[in-house]
Amino acid sequence: MLDSLQREVDLLSRALQTLAFVRENQPVGIRRTSKALDYEHHEIRVSFRLLEEEGLVEATDEGAVTTEEAAAFVAAVDDDLDAVEESLTALRSLTDEELPAGDRERASVA
């Protein structure tokens, strides 16, 4: 169950690194970004696609560039991450000791 959460965190991390690189080096292509960030081409292509879908970068003939929405996203990302961190902290407090015996057995099977 947590494997999928970790994959999402990894995907978000790569996308944020890609966005930061584009902001600093625009216009920039997949190859240059891949080499600079030490990710495979297909991983950067996925990050570019996600950033495009979110309206944070756009493709040009010269390479990817950030959009006006990117600045607002970057300004809000800390608050969004704080909210996620609070949710994860609340989950951490749910330990096996707090679960009734039957729930503990079902949790260990899952």
The conformation of residue 28, written as its DSSP 8-state character, comes to B
Which CATH number is 55's domain given? Answer: 1.10.10.10
Total number of domains constituting the chain? 1
Distance CA 56, CA 74 (A): 10
109, pLDDT greater than 60: no
Q: Which pLDDT value is given to residue 14?
A: 96
Q: Which residue has the higher pLDDT, 11 or 97?
A: 11
Q: Which residue has the higher pLDDT, 61 or 97?
A: 61
Q: Which pLDDT value is given to residue 10?
A: 94
1, pLDDT greater than 90: no
Structural domain for 18, as ranges: 2-109
| 34 neighbors 44 (Cβ within 8 angstroms) | yes
Question: With bands split at pLDDT 50, 70 and 90, how would you rate the model's confidence at 20?
Answer: very high
Q: Which residue has the higher pLDDT, 105 or 21?
A: 21
Q: What is the DSSP string of 9-66?
A: HHHHHHHHHHHHHHHHH-SB-HHHHHHHHT--HHHHHHHHHHHHHTTSEEE-SS-EEE
37, pLDDT greater than 80: yes
Distance CA 70, CA 56 (A): 5
Question: With bands split at pLDDT 50, 70 and 90, how would you rate the model's confidence at 91?
Answer: confident
Question: With bands split at pLDDT 50, 70 and 90, how would you rate the model's confidence at 60?
Answer: very high
